[in-house]
Amino acid sequence: MKTKLKELRARHGINQTELAKRAKISRQTVSLIEREEFMPSLLIAMKIARVFDEPIEEIFRFEEEELE
Amino acid sequence: MKKILTTSGKLLIGALIGFFGMLALLEAEITFDFGNYAYPASIVILAAAAVLIVFSLYCYSSIRKTAKQDLSGDAEDAAEGKMYRQYSDANLSITLALLFGLAAVCLALLTEQPVWTAVTGVVLTFISFVVSFLLPGLMHKMYPERNLPSISDKDYANKLLESSDDGEKHVMLDGLYKTYLSLNSLLIGAIILLLLYSMVTGASQLFGIFVVVAILAVTNAQYMFSIRNK
């Protein structure tokens, strides 16, 4: 899974801590997702998507092979 | 097939080394008197416990100071990361200090060391115990916006786990699973070591061996039942 989370954060000018507070998750989780070391649950993905007002699939992208 | 042969070869070599090593150890008349080393060992263990307590308190004070700062942007993320690492370091240090304190008390009592070493060991163990209860309170300073349980809450550990999000649980699971695997190997190694020590020195460690076996049986049963019943 690839994510545009870091890019989106930079575009909105918010740091990891701020995103974590707004999405009500931990900064550690934000950091893990950005480093692509952890695939978020649907709930966390939804919370993050709401902060940026973007659809989930715009933030998290799967390779075609991963979906087969 | 090749892999099986390689593994069999390694096992055979290991068994031969173990067999001849054991023969050599049984032939050599080894005696190990802890009494000769107990006093300097007590001093080293007590000093290590004291240093670890001081380090833990330093981390405690540093986290409190950092948590009060009003930061933003990357500096805020860096400070949060630093506090998280210091919190982990403080917890590890205080756990080690507690264990060293206990080890020093055992050493003092079992090898008839000067009373002051036993008293210092008890004091250091007590301080470590108190600090280990102070540390969780720091989480409220680090994450004031989170609804974290208080250390005085009934069932604190379970409530803390419930308040962790998926990312934090993922990190904990990774660490705990690795710990579970290494604990099993280390305790089996400890049984072998205690057996060798008993055979070589003639001082039976059978009680210790049974305690380790009981710990292994209980922890493995606990883990297996918890995953089996899900």
- Residue B26 is predicted with a pLDDT of 65
- Residue B32 is predicted with a pLDDT of 64
- Residue B202 is predicted with a pLDDT of 87
Nearest CA in chain A to B84: A28
Nearest CA in chain B to A17: B77
- Per-residue pLDDT at B23 exceeds 70: no
Please, is B222 exposed, middle or buried when counting C-beta atoms within 10 Å of its C-beta (0-12, 13-18, 19+)?
A: exposed
3-class state of residue B149 by DSSP: coil
Contacts of A29 in chain B (CB under 8 A): 165-168
Predicted complex ipTM exceeds 0.85: yes
Contact status of B162 with chain A (Cβ, < 8 Å):
no
Predicted confidence (pLDDT) per residue in B50-93, tens digit = 999 999 999 999 999 999 998 888 899 999 999 999 999 999 99
Structure tokens at B230: 């899900």
> CB of A21 within 8 A of CB of B159?
no
- Residue B27 is predicted with a pLDDT of 66
> CB of B180 within 8 A of CB of B158?
no
- Residue B10 is predicted with a pLDDT of 74
Instruction: Supply the mean pLDDT for chain A.
Output: 92
Question: Are residues B165 and A30, on separate chains, in Cβ contact within 8 Å?
Answer: no
Predicted confidence (pLDDT) per residue in B146-191, tens digit = 888 888 888 888 898 899 999 999 999 999 999 999 999 999 999 9
Instruction: Supply the mean pLDDT for chain B.
Output: 89
Q: What are the sequence ranges of the domains in chain B?
A: 1-30, 33-163, 164-230
Question: Are residues A17 and B77, on separate chains, in Cβ contact within 8 Å?
Answer: yes
Phi/psi of residue A2, nearest 5 degrees: -105, 150
Band of pLDDT at residue B97, cut at 50, 70 and 90: very high
Question: Are residues B171 and A32, on separate chains, in Cβ contact within 8 Å?
Answer: yes
Least CB–CB distance from B77: residue in A27, A29, A38: A27
- Fold topology of A2-55: 434 Repressor (Amino-terminal Domain) (1.10.260)
Contacts of A9 (CB under 8 A, 6+ apart): A15, A16, A19
Average pLDDT over residues A26-48: 93
Predicted confidence (pLDDT) per residue in A2-30, tens digit = 899 999 999 999 999 999 999 999 999 99
- Per-residue pLDDT at A53 exceeds 90: yes
- Residue B43 is predicted with a pLDDT of 95
